[in-house]
Structure 1
Amino acid sequence: MGPVHDGDAALDGLPGLPGLPRLAPTVAVHHHLLLLADDVEPEEVETLVTSLVVGARWTTTVSASMPGVLDLLPDADRHSRATLTGPWSIDAARDALGLPDWASTAFVVDVDPERSPAAPPHPGGYGPLLDAFGPHHPEGLERQVLDVAHACARRLAGALRVTSGAVVEPDPASAVDLAVHAPLWLDPDALAHVLEGALPGIELLPGAEAVHAEGHHLDGYGATWHDGEAGDHVVVEVEAAEVLAPALRTAAWTAGGVITYHLRWLDGDRTPSGRAGLRRRDRARASLEAAALALRDAVGGIVLDEDGFVVAPEQLRDPAG
């Protein structure tokens, strides 16, 4: 792929955005774009990317008049390329590319395309990101980089414009599932006690209590919770982590092993269009957040959302409050 600007024209500051270089439409159309509002700082993008990609770092820092280059493969063979370059002003490209009005800046995603053979039709589609490419889906390194950019778009209330011309705007509230990664293991009866307040009536899956009561070692176990009024179904899965999530790599306590408590909402619409669906999703999120808080109070550790980003305790809501 070529450079991300058209000579001097790409570096002209625009009124209201002093010093911010503008992205030329003729260049933008050939790249994936991470679209963001003007209140998102480059450091926020860096924090998210580096929490998902081990080793990612700025190889060119952001200056008053030039974008930075955030390299996802700084130590890799130079035959592979995966960078985010920005921020750029998108005012010059907005109309030509049909970009949303709320977006004002972009990071250019530079990665070589890798596409699958034609995928067979699927009744429910393959998800908004893959469906944006038609039958030939991104795979390999391109898919990995797009997954990171899509996760950033969801966390930052942004969007992703892909080279097919489609704009994918993930709903930030669609990330419902949580996981607590901690240094301590809870036996099944202790888990049920810790979560009873957040998930009243939680039931351990058959076998876990009996195995534990007989003194046998448990590699993992599960529990389930049903909200009879709303029809929600939550599954809790407990296991020793075999692979360390990138966001945990700087936590010293992980050297002693990590126990992961997955909290998953099943049978719910993550992107509802009606008010009833939105209320149901909000109730499910409140229940999972209360459960995550209760677990963290009991075992410590770090809470991650389903994209792998850290969720601070103060970001979790108390459904009773």
Structure 2
Amino acid sequence: METVAVLPTDLDGRHVLAVPAGADVLGLARAWFVDPGWTREPAAPEPAPAMPTGARFRGVVVDAGPVRPGAMRLDEAAALVGPLPVAADEAHARGLPPGGWDLYGTADPTSVRVDEPAPTDAVSRRVSGWLVATARRTRGLVVPADRASVLVPDPGQGVDLTLWSAVPLTPADLVAVVRPAMVGARVGAPEVGESTGSAPVPCRLTATFEYDGQVVVTLARSTTLPVVLTTIDWRASGPWAYRVRWRPIDPDELGSEQPSRLHVIARDRVAPMLARVATALQRAVEGTVVDAGGFVVSPDDLVRRSRPTA
């Protein structure tokens, strides 16, 4: 997006995350950070004073006071200040897409006043990654501190899904569960890893399309779990990761925010299959699905994702 956003001066010197008004930014932060929280709650506007009565005051509008932004700690080295609301009728003038927005700016939690911007070179790769992932998840945007550009992440970029379950399937059962969801693809024989006694074995299953690349399903036990799983009941997930990934014809386009039209067409055809595979696995072994951005995908969202793109 080439338009340079004109943001409130309170956000000068900060990287800014813009999300649709009302988005649960704290909930999104919990997907990436262990113990985020408000160190200062946002304050609602002061109630407007009573409207004077009488003919002489007819047509007079009494405004409520401004919203006082809060301060949210992400981790020991990062915080956010916000939200600063932008009404729908202000969005165009500020160089933002249509609609109402909430703005959050990066801040330094170690300073005497959290209102001070974080030094731009001190914003960690993790925080930068979360800003982009959150903008992608909410169809928002990120404005760097220098205001030289506006990053609008491609919301369709991350189609990969991972089911975290306590139940491992055998290679034969894995094929039986996912093959019906792989309509239109040539499904190969499972590749099986080394077996250790009676322990379940890791395996890989590859489905190949004529024009759209491959969908690869792998099953392996993981020693590290995504942070977001700490926010749900421990019984709702497990250490067995069923990763459902797309491998396009040109893998270099996977990380592009402006992929080619051919890549987008292929992605739109394949993405519903990935969701159907994840759904089939979840029905078989339960567990929790996490998307490529590190956020939980609900069963209803999986149903939505499984529908072909119009």
Describe the shift of the 1:23–1:304 C-alpha distance in structure 2 as closer, same or farther (beyond 3 A).
same
Distance in 1 of aligned mates of 2:299 and 2:97: 33
- Asked if 1:108 corresponds to 2:89, the answer is no
Distance in 1 of aligned mates of 2:212 and 2:97: 38
Aligned partner of 2:207: which letter?
W
| Residue among 80, 86, 89 paired with 2:85 | 89
Q: Matched residue of 1:173: which SS?
A: coil
Is 1:99–1:167's contact at 8 Å kept on the other side of the alignment? no
Distance in 1 of aligned mates of 2:103 and 2:139: 13
1:222 aligns with 204
- Asked if 1:247 corresponds to 2:232, the answer is no
Aligned partner of 1:66: which letter?
R
Could you list the per-position Cα deviations for residues 222-281 of structure 1 after superposition, in whole angstroms to 9, with x for gaps in the alignment?
1211012x33211112111211211111322269x5201111111254456565433211
Q: Matched residue of 2:84: which SS?
A: strand
Q: Matched residue of 1:290: which SS?
A: helix
Aligned partner of 1:174: which letter?
Q
Distance in 2 of aligned mates of 1:178 and 1:34: 25
Q: Matched residue of 1:46: which SS?
A: helix
Q: Matched residue of 1:85: which SS?
A: strand
Describe the shift of the 1:95–1:227 C-alpha distance in structure 2 as closer, same or farther (beyond 3 A).
closer
| Residue among 262, 265, 280 paired with 1:279 | 265
Shift of 1:41: 1.0
Unaligned runs of 5+ in 1: 1-21, 116-139
2:306 aligns with 318
Matches for 1:157-306 after TM superposition, within 5 Å: 157-165=139-147, 166-200=149-183, 201-208=186-193, 217-218=199-200, 220-228=202-210, 230-249=211-230, 250-253=232-235, 257-267=238-248, 269-270=253-254, 271=257, 275-306=261-292
Q: Matched residue of 2:242: which SS?
A: strand
| Residue among 66, 81, 91 paired with 2:68 | 66
Distance in 1 of aligned mates of 2:261 and 2:8: 40
Is 2:170–2:201's contact at 8 Å kept on the other side of the alignment? no
Identity of aligned residues (%): 26
Distance in 2 of aligned mates of 1:156 and 1:114: 23
Is 2:141–2:153's contact at 8 Å kept on the other side of the alignment? yes
Is 1:232–1:265's contact at 8 Å kept on the other side of the alignment? yes
2:111 aligns with none
Q: Structure 1-normalised TM-score?
A: 0.71
Q: Matched residue of 1:304: which SS?
A: strand
Shift of 1:204: 3.9
Q: Matched residue of 1:53: which SS?
A: coil
Distance in 2 of aligned mates of 1:277 and 1:23: 34
1:7 aligns with none
Is 2:192–2:202's contact at 8 Å kept on the other side of the alignment? no
Q: Matched residue of 1:145: which SS?
A: helix
| Residue among 42, 49, 65 paired with 2:29 | 49
Aligned partner of 1:67: which letter?
P
Q: Matched residue of 2:215: which SS?
A: strand
Is 1:159–1:167's contact at 8 Å kept on the other side of the alignment? yes
Aligned partner of 1:248: which letter?
L
Could you list the per-position Cα deviations for residues 94-153 of structure 1 after superposition, in whole angstroms to 9, with x for gaps in the alignment?
899x742436431111244475xxxxxxxxxxxxxxxxxxxxxxxx75221111111110
Unaligned runs of 5+ in 2: 1-5, 45-66, 109-117
Shift of 1:36: 2.4
Distance in 2 of aligned mates of 1:30 and 1:320: 42
Describe the shift of the 1:176–1:232 C-alpha distance in structure 2 as closer, same or farther (beyond 3 A).
same
Shift of 1:217: 4.1
Distance in 2 of aligned mates of 1:107 and 1:141: 14
Matches for 1:119-138 after TM superposition, within 5 Å: none
Q: Between Structure 1 and Structure 2, whose CA radius of gyration is higher? A: 2
Is 1:153–1:170's contact at 8 Å kept on the other side of the alignment? yes
Matches for 1:19-38 after TM superposition, within 5 Å: 24-25=8-9, 27-37=10-20
Describe the shift of the 1:280–1:299 C-alpha distance in structure 2 as closer, same or farther (beyond 3 A).
same
Q: Matched residue of 1:108: which SS?
A: strand
